[in-house]
């Protein structure tokens, strides 16, 4: 078997990227689709559940799929500087792929609202990280404006190549299952990913690579649910920082995708998100809180009796790795027990 070449090389015939652009890659993609029968029996009996573990991409989130495509195209077009606004994962991915391509990378993050592992990644990969006294939405407005004034490649998901890369996860799911699942559930923040999945499923269907299309279930956090409320949210609040977004750049397209698929976008509470986040970890799959929102949404719909259990397949997209946000765990864990280096003390403690 030839080694995995990364998503740009593997799916190039399906991607609208310059055919001659040498791929800037860290061999992202080809992430595991983990069957979860025990979890399914508990939260969605009668469904066949798979977890697409996108946290296993090189920088720890699905953003690497979009970034390999965006940076491949930008480098080919001669860009030397990239910029993005980020709740964290886009920053880490932009930093890694920009450095890989020898480009300067500048990222804007909302001050105090980004998980520690994401900032650490962006800094380590060599980005210039700038915190703004404002929200992600403010940061996005700023980078859109400055990149229209200066020769800077904007690599947020308003960049069409990001979606080209991200849609490859839909291809992988169809290739693994032999067709699209009945349901695909995922978290929705800036709404680029759900838009990209729908593009991918439709394209694979049209190309005869999947006989069917899935229904999309997008989940927003209740405190940051503009697509459910039908209006922008000025001060979005949620424990799921990756989807703490009040003005999704791809909101219209996301709503269209959900509707066209016969699915919907719903809101889930932070408690539901955290409960599913803990439950996934007990399955051996450690994700960041936002990543649990899609499956929390599916479980919510099952509890409400809005999903008919008829042996259908469900794929939950787990967007980012749990190690990105260690504080989410430690701030909720009890004090760690400390004992002398003495086996009797250990025996006493565990007895």
Positions in the binding site for ligand PLP (CB under 6 A): 61, 63, 89, 157, 187-193, 242-243, 288, 290-291, 319-320
The strand pairing partners of 170, in sequence order, are none
Residue 64 CB, nearest approach to ligand PLP (Å): 10
- For ligand PLP, the closer CB: 238 or 319: 319
Q: Which two tokens stand for residue 331?
A: 């701030």
- For ligand PLP, the closer CB: 21 or 249: 249
**What H or E segment, with its residue span, contains residue 202?**
helix 192-206
Residue 78 CB, nearest approach to ligand PLP (Å): 27
Report helix, strand or coil for 51: strand
- Residue least distant from ligand PLP (Cβ): 320
- For ligand PLP, the closer CB: 25 or 89: 89
Residue 301 CB, nearest approach to ligand PLP (Å): 19
- For ligand PLP, the closer CB: 117 or 181: 117
Nearest to 96 by CA among 68, 75, 125: 125
Residue 20 CB, nearest approach to ligand PLP (Å): 28
Q: What residues have CB less than 8 Å from 58, skipping those under 6 apart?
A: 26, 27, 28, 64, 96
- For ligand PLP, the closer CB: 243 or 328: 243
The DSSP string of 275-333 is HHHHHHHTTT--B-GGGGHHHHHHHHHHHTT-S--SS-EEEEEE-BBGGG-HHHHHTTS
Residue 245 CB, nearest approach to ligand PLP (Å): 7
Could you give the CA distance from residue 197 to residue 219 in angstroms, rounded to a whole number? 14
């Amino acid at each position: 078997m030839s080694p995995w070449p990364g998503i740009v090389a593997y799916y190039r015939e399906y991607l609208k990227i310059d055919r001659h652009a040498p791929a800037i890659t860290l061999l992202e993609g080809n992430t595991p689709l983990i069957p979860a029968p025990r979890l399914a029996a508990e939260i969605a009996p009668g469904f066949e559940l798979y977890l697409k573990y996108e946290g296993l991409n090189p920088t720890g989130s699905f953003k690497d799929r979009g970034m390999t495509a965006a940076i491949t195209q930008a480098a080919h077009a001669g860009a030397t500087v990239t910029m993005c606004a980020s709740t964290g994962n886009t920053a880490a991915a932009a930093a890694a792929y920009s450095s890989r391509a020898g480009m300067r990378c500048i990222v804007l993050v909302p001050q105090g609202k980004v998980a520690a592992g994401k900032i650490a990644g962006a800094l380590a990969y060599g980005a210039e990280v700038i915190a703004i006294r404002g929200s992600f939405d403010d940061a996005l407005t700023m980078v859109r404006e400055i990149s229209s004034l200066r020769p800077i490649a904007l690599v947020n998901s308003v960049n069409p190549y990001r979606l080209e890369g991200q849609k490859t996860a839909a291809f992988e799911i169809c290739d693994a299952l032999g067709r699209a699942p009945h349901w695909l559930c995922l978290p929705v923040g800036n709404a680029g990913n759900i838009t990209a999945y729908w593009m991918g499923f439709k394209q694979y269907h049209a190309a005869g690579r999947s006989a069917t299309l899935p229904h999309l279930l997008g989940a927003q956090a209740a405190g940051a649910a503009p697509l459910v409320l039908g209006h922008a949210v000025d001060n979005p609040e949620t424990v799921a920082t990756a989807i703490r977004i009040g003005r999704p750049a791809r909101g219209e397209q996301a709503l269209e995708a959900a509707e066209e698929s016969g699915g919907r976008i719903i809101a889930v509470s932070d408690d539901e998100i955290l409960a599913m986040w803990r439950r996934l970890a007990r399955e051996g799959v450690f994700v960041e809180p936002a990543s649990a929102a899609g499956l929390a949404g599916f479980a919510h719909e099952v509890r409400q009796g809005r999903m008919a259990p008829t042996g259908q397949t469900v794929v939950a997209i787990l967007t980012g790795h749990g190690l990105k946000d260690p504080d989410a765990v430690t701030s909720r864990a009890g004090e760690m027990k400390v004992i002398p280096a003495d086996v009797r003390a250990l025996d006493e403690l565990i007895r």
